[in-house]
Structure 1
Amino acid sequence: MTAIAAQAVQMQAGALAQSIGTAVARQQIDAQKAVATLVAETASPPAPAGQGQFVDLRV
Protein backbone atom coordinates (compact mmCIF):
# COMPACT_ATOMS: atom_id res chain seq x y z
CA MET A 1 0.00 0.00 0.00
CA THR A 2 2.92 2.35 0.66
CA ALA A 3 4.13 2.03 -2.93
CA ILE A 4 0.72 3.03 -4.23
CA ALA A 5 0.63 6.10 -1.97
CA ALA A 6 4.14 7.09 -3.03
CA GLN A 7 3.19 6.74 -6.68
CA ALA A 8 0.08 8.87 -6.13
CA VAL A 9 2.15 11.59 -4.44
CA GLN A 10 4.65 11.55 -7.32
CA MET A 11 1.84 11.87 -9.86
CA GLN A 12 0.33 14.80 -7.96
CA ALA A 13 3.71 16.49 -7.70
CA GLY A 14 4.26 16.04 -11.43
CA ALA A 15 0.86 17.51 -12.23
CA LEU A 16 1.54 20.48 -9.96
CA ALA A 17 4.93 21.11 -11.53
CA GLN A 18 3.36 20.96 -15.00
CA SER A 19 0.61 23.43 -14.10
CA ILE A 20 3.15 25.81 -12.56
CA GLY A 21 5.32 25.55 -15.67
CA THR A 22 2.33 26.27 -17.89
CA ALA A 23 1.37 29.31 -15.82
CA VAL A 24 4.93 30.68 -15.96
CA ALA A 25 5.11 30.16 -19.72
CA ARG A 26 1.79 31.96 -20.23
CA GLN A 27 2.96 34.85 -18.07
CA GLN A 28 6.17 35.16 -20.09
CA ILE A 29 4.25 35.10 -23.37
CA ASP A 30 1.86 37.79 -22.11
CA ALA A 31 4.80 39.93 -21.01
CA GLN A 32 6.48 39.55 -24.41
CA LYS A 33 3.25 40.50 -26.17
CA ALA A 34 2.92 43.58 -23.96
CA VAL A 35 6.48 44.66 -24.78
CA ALA A 36 5.94 44.06 -28.49
CA THR A 37 2.74 46.12 -28.40
CA LEU A 38 4.49 48.95 -26.57
CA VAL A 39 7.36 48.95 -29.06
CA ALA A 40 4.94 48.92 -32.00
CA GLU A 41 2.97 51.83 -30.57
CA THR A 42 6.06 53.94 -29.93
CA ALA A 43 7.78 53.12 -33.24
CA SER A 44 7.62 55.26 -36.34
CA PRO A 45 4.18 56.22 -37.64
CA PRO A 46 2.21 53.51 -39.40
CA ALA A 47 2.60 53.00 -43.12
CA PRO A 48 0.15 54.78 -45.42
CA ALA A 49 -3.00 52.90 -46.38
CA GLY A 50 -2.31 50.13 -48.86
CA GLN A 51 1.44 50.09 -48.32
CA GLY A 52 2.90 46.76 -47.32
CA GLN A 53 -0.13 44.84 -48.49
CA PHE A 54 1.45 43.27 -51.57
CA VAL A 55 0.02 39.83 -52.33
CA ASP A 56 2.11 37.46 -54.44
CA LEU A 57 -0.25 35.46 -56.61
CA ARG A 58 2.41 33.48 -58.48
CA VAL A 59 2.13 29.72 -58.30
Structure 2
Amino acid sequence: MSSSIAPAVQMQAAGFAQSVGVAVARQQIDAGKAVADLVAQTAASASPPAPAGQGQRLDIRV
Protein backbone atom coordinates (compact mmCIF):
# COMPACT_ATOMS: atom_id res chain seq x y z
CA MET A 1 0.00 0.00 0.00
CA SER A 2 2.85 2.39 0.71
CA SER A 3 4.12 1.89 -2.82
CA SER A 4 0.91 3.38 -4.22
CA ILE A 5 1.14 6.43 -1.95
CA ALA A 6 4.73 7.36 -2.81
CA PRO A 7 4.06 8.52 -6.41
CA ALA A 8 1.13 10.63 -5.23
CA VAL A 9 3.27 12.28 -2.55
CA GLN A 10 6.04 12.91 -5.08
CA MET A 11 3.58 14.51 -7.51
CA GLN A 12 2.17 16.66 -4.75
CA ALA A 13 5.65 17.74 -3.65
CA ALA A 14 6.60 18.58 -7.24
CA GLY A 15 3.46 20.67 -7.65
CA PHE A 16 4.19 22.52 -4.43
CA ALA A 17 7.79 23.18 -5.47
CA GLN A 18 6.59 24.55 -8.81
CA SER A 19 4.07 26.81 -7.06
CA VAL A 20 6.77 28.17 -4.78
CA GLY A 21 9.05 28.76 -7.76
CA VAL A 22 6.34 30.68 -9.60
CA ALA A 23 5.60 32.77 -6.50
CA VAL A 24 9.28 33.64 -6.07
CA ALA A 25 9.61 34.57 -9.74
CA ARG A 26 6.57 36.85 -9.50
CA GLN A 27 7.99 38.56 -6.42
CA GLN A 28 11.27 39.17 -8.22
CA ILE A 29 9.48 40.62 -11.25
CA ASP A 30 7.34 42.87 -9.03
CA ALA A 31 10.43 44.03 -7.14
CA GLY A 32 12.20 44.82 -10.41
CA LYS A 33 9.22 46.83 -11.62
CA ALA A 34 9.08 48.73 -8.33
CA VAL A 35 12.76 49.63 -8.58
CA ALA A 36 12.36 50.72 -12.20
CA ASP A 37 9.39 52.92 -11.26
CA LEU A 38 11.34 54.47 -8.40
CA VAL A 39 14.32 55.20 -10.65
CA ALA A 40 12.05 56.73 -13.29
CA GLN A 41 10.32 58.95 -10.73
CA THR A 42 13.63 60.05 -9.26
CA ALA A 43 15.07 60.83 -12.70
CA ALA A 44 11.98 62.81 -13.69
CA SER A 45 11.96 64.92 -10.55
CA ALA A 46 15.72 65.35 -10.11
CA SER A 47 16.46 67.67 -13.00
CA PRO A 48 14.52 70.88 -13.51
CA PRO A 49 13.55 71.84 -17.06
CA ALA A 50 16.12 73.73 -19.10
CA PRO A 51 15.74 77.51 -19.31
CA ALA A 52 14.12 78.92 -22.42
CA GLY A 53 16.51 79.03 -25.36
CA GLN A 54 19.06 76.68 -23.84
CA GLY A 55 20.14 73.84 -26.06
CA GLN A 56 19.28 75.62 -29.27
CA ARG A 57 22.88 75.82 -30.56
CA LEU A 58 25.59 73.27 -30.58
CA ASP A 59 29.19 74.34 -30.14
CA ILE A 60 31.44 71.83 -31.91
CA ARG A 61 34.77 73.68 -31.72
CA VAL A 62 37.73 71.44 -30.94
CA RMSD of aligned residues (A): 1.9
Percent of residue pairs bearing the same amino acid type = 19
Counterparts of 1:8 and 1:19, CA distance in 2: 17
In structure 1, the residue corresponding to 2:25 is in which secondary structure? helix
Match of 1:20 in 2: 23
Structure 2 length normalisation: TM-score?
0.70
Larger Rg: 2
- Correspondences of 1:1-40 after superposition (within 5 Å): 1-40=4-43
Deviations 1:7-38 (A, max 9, x none): 00000000000000000100000000000000
Instruction: Give how far 1:44 is off.
Output: 1.9
| Long gaps (5+) in structure 1 | 49-59
Aligned structure 1 segments of 4 or more residues deviating by more than 6 angstroms? none
Structure 2 regions of 5+ residues with no counterpart?
Answer: 50-54, 56-62
